[in-house]
Chain A
Amino acid sequence: MENIYSEEQKITRSFKSSRKTIDFLLSYSQSFTVVDCDNHKFEVTLN
């Protein structure tokens, strides 16, 4: 019964975002910088 229940959970709910999305986030993170200048914060996205 526990197996049936776990299987059902897997079918109905389990989902993982793809490697592509994670790679995008990691490159976005690397390119995103915050520059502090005279108490003002500037966001820069480097390509």
Chain B
Amino acid sequence: MELQIEDSVLVKQYISGDEKSLEVLINRYNQRISSFIYSKVLDKDVAEDIFQDTFIKVIKTLKRGSYSEEGKFLPWVMRIAHNLIIDYFRKNKRMPKFEGSEDFNIFSVIKDDKLNAEKQIIKDQIDRDLTYLIEELPEDQKEVLIMRIYKDMSFKEISENTGVSINTALGRMRYALINLRKIVDRHNIVLTN
């Protein structure tokens, strides 16, 4: 088994002048950080620019000696990337601008997707009922369903958090949905209006 040098050790070595340690850190987290940025900006060139700016900040902070050892390296870099993504959206004001003309009015083709007051009340009621139904599920299925639906976690993240394989997590989710339907049928519950 190949031994991996800890991030904190690499950071210390880099601060002491070992440039190679930075390369190891960049290569170790290139995919995770680049993918994170890309998933937000959805543009590979922009993602690469933000990745570059992120590490320029990392380099400056480490060489200035302002890096605090309290936190972990990756979450710290992710936070820098996250802030730069926000800056990017602020600068670019990515909201599409459109000015209507005499022939065409944008409001004739777009609509407000918000629910009206009555539908909102019904939706809230359904959400409440659903939480009661979820409580009836076996613990392992409930855990997966809550992570997937309410915490918006991927099955890979669920598998890492629960210590089971992705296949098992997928299976538990499937059984959770089957069981929810069974409970709904058994009690003649109507969840939609």
Chain A interface (Cβ < 8 Å from any Cβ of B): 1-2, 5-6, 9, 12-18, 21-22, 24-26, 28-30, 32-34, 41, 43
Closest 7 CB pairs of A and B: A15-B38, A17-B51, A17-B34, A29-B59, A15-B35, A2-B166, A25-B55
Interfacial chain A residues near B47, Cβ < 8 Å: 15, 17
Determine whether B155 belongs to the interface, using a CB cutoff of 8 Å to chain A: yes
Q: Which of B22, B38, B156 is close to A29, meaning CB atoms less than 8 Å apart?
A: B22
CB <8 Å contact, B167 and A1: yes
CB <8 Å contact, A33 and B170: no
Determine whether B26 belongs to the interface, using a CB cutoff of 8 Å to chain A: yes
Determine whether B93 belongs to the interface, using a CB cutoff of 8 Å to chain A: no
Count A/B pairs, Cβ under 8 Å: 73
Q: How far is the CA of A9 from the CA of B35 in the complex (A)?
A: 11
Chain B interface (Cβ < 8 Å from any Cβ of A): 19, 22-23, 26-27, 30-31, 34-35, 37-39, 44, 47-48, 51-52, 55-56, 59-60, 63-65, 154-156, 165-167, 170
Closest chain A residue to B155, Cβ basis: A5
Q: How far is the CB of A41 from chain B (nearest CB, A)?
A: 6
Q: Which of A15, A17, A30, A43 is close to B19, meaning CB atoms less than 8 Å apart?
A: A30
